[in-house]
Amino acid sequence: MDKIEIEGGVRLKGEVCIGGAKNAALPLMAAAILSSGENIIKNVPGLRDVMTMGKLIAHLGCGFHFENNQALLQTKKITSADAPYDFVKTMRASVLVLGPLLARTGRAKVSLPGGCAIGARPINLHIMGLEKMGAAIVLSEGYIEAKAKRLKGAEIYFDMPTVTGTENLMMAAALADGTTILENAACEPEVVDLANALISMGAVIEGAGTSIVRIKGVNKLRPMNYTVIPDRIETATFIAASAVTNGEIRIKNSRPDNLEAVLNKMKEGGAVISEKKGKLSVKGPARLSSVDIKTMPYPGFATDMQAQFMALMSIAEGTSLITENIFENRFMHVAEMKRMGADISIEGATATVRGVKSLKGAPVMATDLRASASLILAGLAAKGTTVIDRVYHLDRGYERIEEKLRPLGAKIRRIK
Ligand code: EPZ
């Protein structure tokens, strides 16, 4: 298992280029199943999760080729409608093939994702929506077996906004008979990116990015030729890296309009952030001030940035309250940060972070994707050496992050 070693205390300086959004690329790859032909998706990040999704789509009988951040998906023929446990257990987002397979072939057999480190991750809302659209769904032996001659448009209300639930049902509705209305839909930029790609394939969708999305089903969709939006969580992670090292970096290829809540909180903490000629420039303060955050569905503060923000608050002036409202177990980075000298206590969904002068490097362990990113940030800020184990978590969501940080001055290397 690879490890990452960081010698902390360096102020980052220079320019970094952001890659394509993981959480947009994954649903876009699944959406290719709705068409029959050669789909080209550009600005796709070279991530483990992208390769896993590619292998799954190839398993369904499609062609998958990835080169120079472009994914080619030949979806002329689908020879299987099964997404086995082996794929789904390594990547929950595999469940995104459920809607497209059902819409394209009339059946789907997808392993229930099971939980993951950060929570139970149920998909009851995905299933509820598909049943409303006329699918017959049986859960047996850990699999969802869904059948529908042709899905019908329906009115679907989500008890709570679900990103992949909204995406699954939007894709299923694109080929359904009639109009589907998704209420209390997720508004994330990645949902909007998927809607824009589907519209480019011939789908009729209105309201993506708001909590009411209308999809008028069509009979056929043509293959996509689409470019993925920049990754807002990778962008926010580099903003955090500059903020926590009293650095001064410029960020290319970002979409600051997708990051309002996070940008506001970083500025409140003392980072000076401005946009010049399409680049974000981020100047970290000598010492951050404590800021409270509560994670919320978009456009609220992203849960995928909670761990990274906590790393910043661990050495800020004052005390910060960090409340995780989306997932029930997304504080596993706390124990690792405490090994580095952070002063954090957890009460239910809220962590109280008392800023300390500085962290001390230590051997730590990554537990999930965004926790690994938070430990990189902590290591960059800490005095001494930090070695992070189990960095395969990191590689799921960040493309060669150490190779992006090194040109900014970070003393960071991967130990095979
Ligand atoms: C997506 O996960 C993202 N993954 C996650 O990013 C992100 O943290 C999450 O949205 C929230 O923004 C992808 O897009 C591939 P949800 P998703 O359904 O869709 C509950 C990362 O680090 N819920 O929006 O699985 C659920 O338990 C990953 O890149 C139900 O109860 O999240 C959670 O509490 C981690 N029933 C809340 O809704 C359902 O049927 C939001 O989950 C579905 C969800």
pLDDT for res 87: 86
Atom index in ligand 1 nearest the CA of residue 124 equals 40
Using CA atoms, how far apart are residues 182 and 213, in angstroms rounded to an integer?
5
Q: Which of 56, 127, 160 to mutate to test the pocket of ligand 1 (most atoms within 8 A of CB)?
A: 160
Q: How far is residue 27's CA from residue 63's CA, in Å, rounded to a whole number?
A: 17
- Residue 117 has a pLDDT of 83
pLDDT on residue 341: 98
pLDDT at 12: 98
Which helix (H) or strand (E) segment is 311 a member of? helix 306-313
62 flagged as catalytic: no
Q: How far is the CA of 278 from the centre of ligand 1 (A)?
A: 30
Report d(CA 357, CA 342) in Å as an integer. Answer: 9
Ranges in the chain, pLDDT < 70: none
* pLDDT on residue 225: 98
**Minimal-distance CA residue to ligand 1 atom 7:** 304
- pLDDT tens track for 9-60: 999 999 999 999 999 999 999 999 999 999 999 999 999 999 999 999 999 9
Residue 206 to residues 137, 180, 203: CA-CA distances in angstroms?
28, 11, 10
Three-state secondary structure call for residue 217: coil
Question: Is 101 in contact with 78 (CB distance < 8 Å)?
Answer: yes
**Is-contact 53 100, C-beta < 8 A?**
no
Structural domains of the chain in order of their starting residue, each with its CATH number: 3-19+230-415 (3.65.10.10), 22-227 (3.65.10.10)
* Cα–ligand 1 centroid distance for 119 (angstroms): 9
Q: Which atom of ligand 1 is nearest to the CA of 121?
A: 27
pLDDT in the model for residue 38: 98
